Amino acid sequence: MKNEIFKVLKMVEEGKIDSEKAAELIALLKENGTETGSASPYLDKTLKIRVIDKDGNVNINIPIRLLKALLKTGYHISANLPASEKYLKNIDLDMILSAVENDLDGQLVDIASPEGEKVSVVIE
How many domains in the chain?
1
- DSSP 8-state assignment for residue 81: -
Q: Where are the alpha helices (DSSP H) in the chain?
A: 2-13, 19-34, 64-72, 77-80, 85-88, 93-101
CB-CB contact of 44 with 65 (8 Å) = yes
pLDDT by residue for the chain (124 residues), tens only, comes to 677 888 888 888 888 888 888 888 888 877 766 544 455 788 888 989 888 888 888 888 888 888 777 776 665 555 555 555 665 666 666 677 777 777 878 888 888 888 888 888 888 9
Q: What is residue 35's predicted lDDT score, i.e. its pLDDT?
A: 47
- Beta-ladder partners of 56: 53
Cα–Cα distance measured from residue 109 to residue 120, given in angstroms and rounded to the nearest whole number: 5
Query: For residue 55, how far is the Cα from the chain centroid?
Result: 22
Provide the residue range defining the domain that includes 104.
2-123
